[in-house]
Structure 1
Amino acid sequence: MQAVQFTEHGDTDVIEYGDFPDPEPSDDEVLVDVKAGALNHLDVWTRKGLPGIDLEMPHIPGSDAAGVVTEVGEDVTRFEEGDHVAVSAGAFCGECEFCRRGDFPLCVEFHIIGEHVRGVHSELAAVPAQNLVPVPDHVDWETAAAAPLVFQTAWRMLRNRGDLKSGEDVLVLGASGGVGHAAVQVAKHAGATVYATASTDEKLEYAEELGADHVINYEEDDFADEIRDLTGYRGVDMVVDHVGGETWQDSLASLAKGGRIVTCGATTGGRPKTDINRIFWNQLEVIGSTMATPGEAEDALEHVWDGTFEVRVRDTLPMSEAAQAHELLENREGFGKVVVKPDSEL
């Protein structure tokens, strides 16, 4: 088969698209004929190298993909040949104390397909059956590939970890990205008033189309000041911050007393300056969130499959141009997700 791959960490010039041995599914795995994949910032970080993660090389990146089942392992009962499926990349042991109580993202062996083990940006992928979700036949491959990681992440962040309630005010940073554009829609669906930031007026118009009530161009205005003005100096009940280092202090400053900040990532750095005095005096909550349980993922994706949530795709490229796809993410170009397809599918 052909696969996106790299043999060392580095810039986009380490990415190749070429021959790779066909995978053979184990007893609990499913072989998927990949029709489309999608990128996340996680793919960029993995390519550059993450501390403490020693990858088997060559590494195939990619946590998001969708395709058709072509073979099932002996122990697999949920799927059969011909089924349409998408990858839900969070893998867990199923046996530890956290798995036994159903909180799989806290699994002591939790890992992500494409980050810690080989991913799915290839013509074929052998994926554990527990990491696949059914896709209705009417859903196009780009949507099926681009939705799972960001929508399940946003759903767990806001609805479960953040306990978002109707009538609350929510600020979503980086609304033009994958998680950001999903979070805007999840928040609006929950009945919140949604504030969103992005770097251009065009991106902000897209955010408004997806449900944002108020938008802020962070290149032109200090978003914490704007939030204070828009809320009568009260602040918002929740900030969704997956940006990290560059925004953390302003995110805290945007919160109302008793508010909460929910984070699933740190694209601009994971060691920000913080304001402990503000946290304890205003009795703020800092909440972490990673991926989702299978049930949370299916709840979120049902809203994608039925059209309630929209997956915005900024560009679709052949896998042989994966380096360009990575550059689109790094340069923060466009609104929404970047999709890659095997060259044989184009």
Structure 2
Amino acid sequence: MQAITLTTRGAAGVALREIPRPAEVPGHVRVRMLAASVNRVDLYMRDSGAGITHRLPQVMGVDGAGEVISAPADSGLAPGTRVVLYPAVFCGLCRACLSGEQALCHHVRILGEHRDGTFAEEISVPVRAVLPVPPEADPVQAAVLGVAYLTAWRMVFGPGAAAGPGRTVLVQGAGGGVACAAVQLALIAGARVIAATTGAEKIAYFQSVGAETLDYRETDIAREVLAMTGGEGADLVVDSVGERSWPASLRAAARGGHVVTCGATTGGHPSAEIQRLFVRQLSVRGSTLGSVEEFRRLLRCWLDGRLLPRIDSCFPLAEVPRAFDRLDDPARLGKIAIRIA
């Protein structure tokens, strides 16, 4: 079968290659991949991969959707069943798994990071890592939900989240995949949403869906958020940008507010501003993926028609390297999808 594999670090190590199809494994489902999406971690794996236990060559890609080729008889998954992949393989037995926090599994192996991923014609994963969807569901839309939208779901609705009617949510770097998802989900929650972004197209889009906007290249974000909220600040700040936006995120947060981060695109070592944290009693939380139950809720939201994923562009499997270039394009707005079949 064909797959996008990483053999060495750097862009030259990413290519479409012929590899063996996955073997039949007890308790696993073989899935014919229909679509996947590009995530920031794909570039990290391409260029570094430091701190992530893995072995090259490796199939890239973290999330995706497809249809069942074969599955255990007692799984209820007949051949042809459309499914969305939960992006992490988890043990189901550790304390985290038993408490329903599969993303915190002590033995977690994330697709495309710790093991072969979704940029392939087929994949084999445990039964518990697939969720069925109706046959009429758009596989490209489904494919973009597993990482960006699930992570955003936890950021907006998870522990300590402050999104909802009467609450203000600031989303930094709103044009990115997770950030754009957070804007959409916070609006669904009924919150007042301020999207910090730049570029006329992005500003027009976020205004069209009901968010207020600030251009971070022309505005002191923290000062403007405070002015817009009568000096109160944002109850929830979503930041996936990192060093460049972090000081403004802390200054823009309301007293007792929450700052949630899931990425460090511009660097991972900002000033902690500890005094501001304790004086204003801010909480800072990290977020990566979400639980299986949170994924089910996200899928219901999408299937009910309340959520339409924002897809910037779609590339065929052979053009994943071009999709990676688009991920770094400042004009990108939302998710980049990969159509496989």
Q: Report the CA distance between 1:45 and its aligned residue.
A: 1.0
Under a length normalisation based on structure 2, what TM-score does the superposition of the two structures give?
0.95
Q: What whole-Å deviation, never above 9, does each CA across 1:309-336 have from its counterpart, x for those lacking one?
A: 1111111111111111011112333211
Partner of 2:63: 64
Partner Cα distance (1:116, 1:210) in 2: 37
Partner of 1:196: 195
Which stretches of structure 1, 4 residues or more, deviate above 3 A after TM superposition? none
> Secondary structure in 1 aligned to 2:59?
coil
1:8 aligns with 2:8: yes
Partner of 1:265: 263
> Secondary structure in 2 aligned to 1:234?
coil
- Given that 1:181 and 1:210 are in contact with CA atoms closer than 8 Å, whether structure 2 keeps it comes out as no
1:277 aligns with 2:275: yes
What is the letter of the counterpart of residue 61 of structure 1? M
1:312 aligns with 2:317: no
Partner of 2:19: 20
Partner Cα distance (1:91, 1:157) in 2: 21
1:169 aligns with 2:171: no
Q: Report the CA distance between 1:33 and its aligned residue.
A: 1.0
Over the matched positions of the two proteins, sequence identity in percent amounts to 37
Partner of 2:104: 106
Partner Cα distance (2:130, 2:213) in 1: 35
- Given that 1:78 and 1:129 are in contact with CA atoms closer than 8 Å, whether structure 2 keeps it comes out as no
What is the letter of the counterpart of residue 180 of structure 1? A
What is the letter of the counterpart of residue 308 of structure 1? R
Unaligned residue ranges in structure 2 (runs of 5+): none
Q: Report the CA distance between 1:338 and its aligned residue.
A: 0.9
Q: Report the CA distance between 1:38 and its aligned residue.
A: 0.8
Partner Cα distance (1:78, 1:240) in 2: 38
Equivalence map 1:185-264=2 (5 Å): 185-212=184-211, 214-264=212-262
Partner Cα distance (2:171, 2:133) in 1: 28
Mean CA deviation greater in 220-229 or 255-264: 220-229
> Secondary structure in 1 aligned to 2:100?
coil
Q: Report the CA distance between 1:61 and its aligned residue.
A: 0.8
1:44 aligns with 2:40: no
Partner Cα distance (2:205, 2:333) in 1: 8
- Given that 1:88 and 1:148 are in contact with CA atoms closer than 8 Å, whether structure 2 keeps it comes out as yes
Partner Cα distance (1:25, 1:248) in 2: 46
What is the letter of the counterpart of residue 94 of structure 1? G
Q: Report the CA distance between 1:210 and its aligned residue.
A: 3.2
Q: Report the CA distance between 1:55 and its aligned residue.
A: 2.1
Q: What whole-Å deviation, never above 9, does each CA across 1:63-106 have from its counterpart, x for those lacking one?
A: 121111111146x5141211001111022221112222222222
What is the letter of the counterpart of residue 181 of structure 2? A
Mean CA deviation greater in 90-99 or 240-249: 90-99
Q: Report the CA distance between 1:117 and its aligned residue.
A: 1.2
Q: What whole-Å deviation, never above 9, does each CA across 1:213-242 have from its counterpart, x for those lacking one?
A: x10111222211221221122211110111
- Given that 1:151 and 1:183 are in contact with CA atoms closer than 8 Å, whether structure 2 keeps it comes out as yes
Unaligned residue ranges in structure 1 (runs of 5+): none
What is the letter of the counterpart of residue 297 of structure 2? D
Q: What whole-Å deviation, never above 9, does each CA across 1:99-133 have from its counterpart, x for those lacking one?
A: 22222222222231111111010111112221111
1:176/1:15 CA distance change after superposition, 3 Å: same
Partner Cα distance (1:19, 1:25) in 2: 19
Partner of 1:92: 90
What is the letter of the counterpart of residue 4 of structure 2? V
Partner Cα distance (2:176, 2:168) in 1: 20
- Given that 2:100 and 2:292 are in contact with CA atoms closer than 8 Å, whether structure 1 keeps it comes out as no
Mean CA deviation greater in 161-170 or 120-129: 161-170
What is the letter of the counterpart of residue 220 of structure 1? E
Q: What whole-Å deviation, never above 9, does each CA across 1:122-160 have from its counterpart, x for those lacking one?
A: 111112221111122222121111122222111111112
Question: What count of residue pairs does the alignment treat as equivalent?
Answer: 340
What is the letter of the counterpart of residue 81 of structure 2? D
Under a length normalisation based on structure 1, what TM-score does the superposition of the two structures give?
0.94
Aligned with residue 292 of structure 1, among 265, 287, 290: 290
Q: What whole-Å deviation, never above 9, does each CA across 1:138-188 have from its counterpart, x for those lacking one?
A: 221211111222221111111122333431111011221211121112111
Partner Cα distance (1:65, 1:295) in 2: 18
> Secondary structure in 2 aligned to 1:261?
strand
> Secondary structure in 1 aligned to 2:305?
coil
Partner of 1:303: 301
- Given that 1:237 and 1:259 are in contact with CA atoms closer than 8 Å, whether structure 2 keeps it comes out as yes
Q: Report the CA distance between 1:341 and its aligned residue.
A: 2.0
What is the letter of the counterpart of residue 9 of structure 1? R
- Given that 1:26 and 1:73 are in contact with CA atoms closer than 8 Å, whether structure 2 keeps it comes out as no
